[in-house]
């Protein structure tokens, strides 16, 4: 039971990190050429996105093989 709880928590934490990363990428996409929400909306949300920007930066630093990380989470060989 404890193992199941631990694994479930890891899945949820992984999904949260990915959603934060996607959210930051959608809002900051204009910097990399992805169509994004209006600039005024991005400017208003910017002060509230400190954590998401840190997550996005850390993901860029740690980025090695995202598909391998996902496959490892679900024990896919």
SS3 40: helix
pLDDT in tens, 2-56: 888 888 998 899 888 888 778 877 777 776 777 777 878 878 888 888 887 787 7
The count of domains in the chain is 1
The residue range of the domain holding 66 is 1-74
First to last CA, the chain: 24
pLDDT for residue 77? 67
Going by pLDDT thresholds of 50, 70 and 90, the confidence category of residue 1 is: confident
pTM score above 0.85: no
DSSP state letter for 63: -
Across 45-68, average pLDDT: 78
Average pLDDT over residues 61-67: 74
3-state secondary structure at position 24: helix
């Amino acid at each position: 039971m404890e193992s199941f709880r631990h694994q479930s928590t890891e899945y949820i934490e992984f999904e949260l990190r990915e959603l934060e990363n996607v959210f930051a990428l959608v809002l900051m996409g204009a910097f990399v050429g992805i169509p994004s929400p209006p600039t005024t909306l991005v400017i208003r949300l910017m002060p509230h996105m400190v954590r998401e920007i840190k997550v996005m930066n850390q993901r860029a630093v740690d980025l090695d093989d995202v598909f391998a990380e996902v496959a490892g989470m679900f024990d896919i060989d």
